[in-house]
Amino acid sequence: MIDNPFYSPEAHGPYEYFELGDFELEEGQTLRGAKLAYRTHGELSAAKDNAILITTWFSGTHAIFDEVYVGEGHALDPAKYFIVIVNQIGNGLSTSPHNTDGPFAMGRFPHVRIGDDVRAQEQLLREQFGIERLELVTGGSMGAQQSYEWAVRFPDKVRRAAPMAGTAKNTPHDFLWVQTLMDAITSDPAFRDGYYTDGAEVRLGLARHALLWSVMGFSTEFFRSEAWRGAGFTSLEDFQVGFVEAYFGVMDPNALLCMAWKWQRGDVSRHTDGDLAAALGRITAKVFVIPIDEDMFFPPRDCAAEEALIPDSELRVVNTVGGHLGLFGLEPAYMEQIDRHLGELLAAGG
Amino acid sequence: MIDNPFYSPEAHGPYEYFELGDFELEEGQTLRGAKLAYRTHGELSAAKDNAILITTWFSGTHAIFDEVYVGEGHALDPAKYFIVIVNQIGNGLSTSPHNTDGPFAMGRFPHVRIGDDVRAQEQLLREQFGIERLELVTGGSMGAQQSYEWAVRFPDKVRRAAPMAGTAKNTPHDFLWVQTLMDAITSDPAFRDGYYTDGAEVRLGLARHALLWSVMGFSTEFFRSEAWRGAGFTSLEDFQVGFVEAYFGVMDPNALLCMAWKWQRGDVSRHTDGDLAAALGRITAKVFVIPIDEDMFFPPRDCAAEEALIPDSELRVVNTVGGHLGLFGLEPAYMEQIDRHLGELLAAGG
């Protein structure tokens, strides 16, 4: 166990824990005494028919949704919906390499799959709140992977799904790109096969990992237009060090690797012997597939190909020079688009 | 000095050397006894009015042009033109870190700029062949940077220019992407600040560098469509190891770093106090700007913005799922497009 102050209510605002117990993973190992960290907004109706699940992305937690996506004036409005944001396994707040005791800590933390997260989330919603059906499941990037997994694995439990900037089956290109992220960290001699004593020791690997995010995470236009000035930075290096490196630099390297391995293998066609059309054809939810136009690794082309395989679906492309990391919602025009799409989806019968 | 068998006529076919002498670089240092390795095709006309210069890209040499771009049936036809392909400084065949003696070898090889290459090439063409004017200068990627530099620095010496898949002024995004390439190599402990005894010692850094090329060098569609099967590979890993890693793995790490530093700083506006419009406005050559539609780091958008600043120019976008590395010409449809554009440019008055 490592005491990393980043993974705390001080850094993320309030959250609660759900005890999963001993949770068997798809890869065969068991997370003993596993926990999910989650945050709720709003009130669950007596009929339990106003629940929305939000799933988290790589490196993300519930906090970004608290701050950017959920609230009065947004489609995800706590005055109307009971909103549950669940931190994915391995993200540092839920059970993760650095907060695990015993032989499976740190460099020996088991491999976790998107399906594990979705099963754990279903258990949380059912056992803690008695929720049997979701009005909406949504999330970005790895959160989209979880949203798709929900819609395919539990078709009767999902009325609507809005996967943003992500795919149902990860692409080979995306696999390679995530591998570069992992290599940036594991190639740092200070990583020591995951047995560092403080994540900050791996700062050079984390910095290289952060630089890769700048190259692939935004867009060429983001940098050409110096859009980072809008966030108060005064030069490219100022932004790279002060924002991108700073963002990742406080995180646990093993946590990032746990999520990265999971991300590489997101694939709903595991339910249908590799037949993606059959898997997506099982979806009964109304689905808005929401790619970002400038996304360099979940390009609209790949998202559109999946959307075409989903019975009751629409493609809703969002425009932002933020690229994939437009998900952070730094641009007001981004959230306006998201709110419009999610609002229309929630207003539609599902 | 390191004896690297990759940098030899056995690996690259025949070439000749031009002695530059002591060549002072823009950054202030001097390459003593510098040489340019070059290859010619065809015969220089008596009037010396049929010369074409081809410049090389990052990691490239004259060989790829011998094999793919130059020959009977191509626009670059030795039956009509005297074609000179010049290896850029630092590419391993021309003066480079590993083939330099004395204090400036290896990790102390001086920084070289695009302008240094172009001045050296001008000296070669003038002193060796008496060529005062080029019918065409062309090249891809860093070769495009050199082509632009020629057209801006020596407007009276360039009738036509065809920069392919590259920019006149490198973009901030491109700078960051190239930095990830450099970091992949320099972060390998075996790199030892450039003082390895054999480039192959840096194989892990070179492999990470190769993986980055796969992510950014091709296109998402290249991998989705498994276009690598066309080159005889049987799996993604087979391709990654057997082609991409193998391609870079034989090269000298310091050579790649020399070219990368140069690439990051390509900028014709150095001639005009940073005013890109003024620099490109100086071009008198007829220019076909030839980006590749799927290029992830020299996207058509950036190339089109520069094209708009060049007086006598056209934008000719080439389509290939090969992305930036479509430049290798693995797709027949790619070379057909290039030949058409270059053929039309050569047929036009300049």
Q: What is the per-residue pLDDT across B171-191, written as a single tens digit (0 to 9) for each?
A: 999 999 999 999 999 999 999
Closest CA–CA distance from residue A11 to any residue of chain B (Å): 29
Neighbours of B151 (CB within 10 A): 30
Binary contact (A236, B172; C-beta < 8 A)? yes
The angle subtended at Cα B184 by Cα B179 and Cα B186, nearest 5°, is 90
Q: Identify whether the C-beta of residue A17 lies closer than 8 Å to the C-beta of residue A98.
A: no
What is the reported pLDDT for A189? 97
Nearest Cβ partner of B171 from A180, A216, A224? A224
Cα torsion A266, A268, A269, A270: sign: positive
Helices (H), ranges, chain B: 9-12, 62-64, 114-129, 142-153, 172-186, 203-217, 220-224, 236-239, 246-249, 253-264, 276-281, 300-307, 332-347
Q: Identify whether A98 is a catalytic site residue.
A: no
- Concatenated DSSP letters of A176-188: HHHHHHHHHHHTS
What is the reported pLDDT for A349? 77
Cα torsion A222, A224, A225, A231: sign: positive
Q: Identify whether A269 is a catalytic site residue.
A: no
What is the reported pLDDT for B230? 87
What is the reported pLDDT for A330? 86
What the block records as the tokens of A309 is 């395989």
Binary contact (B236, A172; C-beta < 8 A)? yes
- Concatenated DSSP letters of A84-121: EEEPPTTSSSSS-GGG--GGGSGGGPPP--HHHHHHHH
Q: What is the per-residue pLDDT across B7-53, written as a single tens digit (0 to 9) for each?
A: 999 999 999 999 999 999 999 999 999 999 999 999 999 999 999 99
Is 90 exceeded by the pLDDT of residue B61? yes
Confidence of residue B212 (pLDDT cuts 50, 70, 90): very high
Is 80 exceeded by the pLDDT of residue B349? no
Is 70 exceeded by the pLDDT of residue B145? yes
Q: CB contact, 8 Å: B180 with chain A?
A: yes
Active-site choice (B174, B295, B313, B341): B295
Is 80 exceeded by the pLDDT of residue B92? yes
Segment B333-346 shows an average pLDDT of 98
Q: Identify whether A324 is a catalytic site residue.
A: yes
- Concatenated DSSP letters of B122-170: HHHHHHHH----BSEEEEETHHHHHHHHHHHH-GGGBSEEEEES--SB-
Report the DSSP beta bridge partners of residue B40. B84
Best of B181, B186, B187 to disrupt the A interface (most A CBs within 10 Å) is B187
The angle subtended at Cα B235 by Cα B229 and Cα B236, nearest 5°, is 95
Nearest Cβ partner of A215 from B180, B189, B204? B180
User: Which run of H or of E encompasses B331?
Assistant: none
What is the reported pLDDT for B334? 97
Contacts of residue B183 in chain A, CB cutoff 8 Å?
Answer: 208, 211
Binary contact (A220, B301; C-beta < 8 A)? yes
- Nearest CA among B112, B1, B12, B113 for reference residue B67: B12
Cα separation values, B137 from B55, B149, B321, Å:
8, 10, 26
Q: CB contact, 8 Å: A215 with chain B?
A: yes
**Amino acid sitting at position A241:** V
Confidence of residue B103 (pLDDT cuts 50, 70, 90): very high
What is the reported pLDDT for A21? 96
Residues B227 and B246: their CA atoms lie apart, in Å, by 18
Q: Which residues of chain A have pLDDT under 50?
A: none
- How many inter-chain contacts (A to B, CB under 8 Å) are there? 87
Q: Identify whether the C-beta of residue B106 lies closer than 8 Å to the C-beta of residue B132.
A: no
Cα torsion B255, B256, B258, B263: sign: positive
Contacts of residue B240 in chain A, CB cutoff 8 Å?
Answer: 176
pTM for this prediction: 0.96
Residue of A nearest to B214 (CA): A176
Closest CA–CA distance from residue B170 to any residue of chain A (Å): 10
Confidence of residue B350 (pLDDT cuts 50, 70, 90): low
Q: CB contact, 8 Å: A183 with chain B?
A: yes
Contacts of residue B302 in chain A, CB cutoff 8 Å?
Answer: 220, 224
Neighbours of A333 (CB within 10 A): 13
Average pLDDT, chain B: 97
Residues A329 and B138: their CA atoms lie apart, in Å, by 42
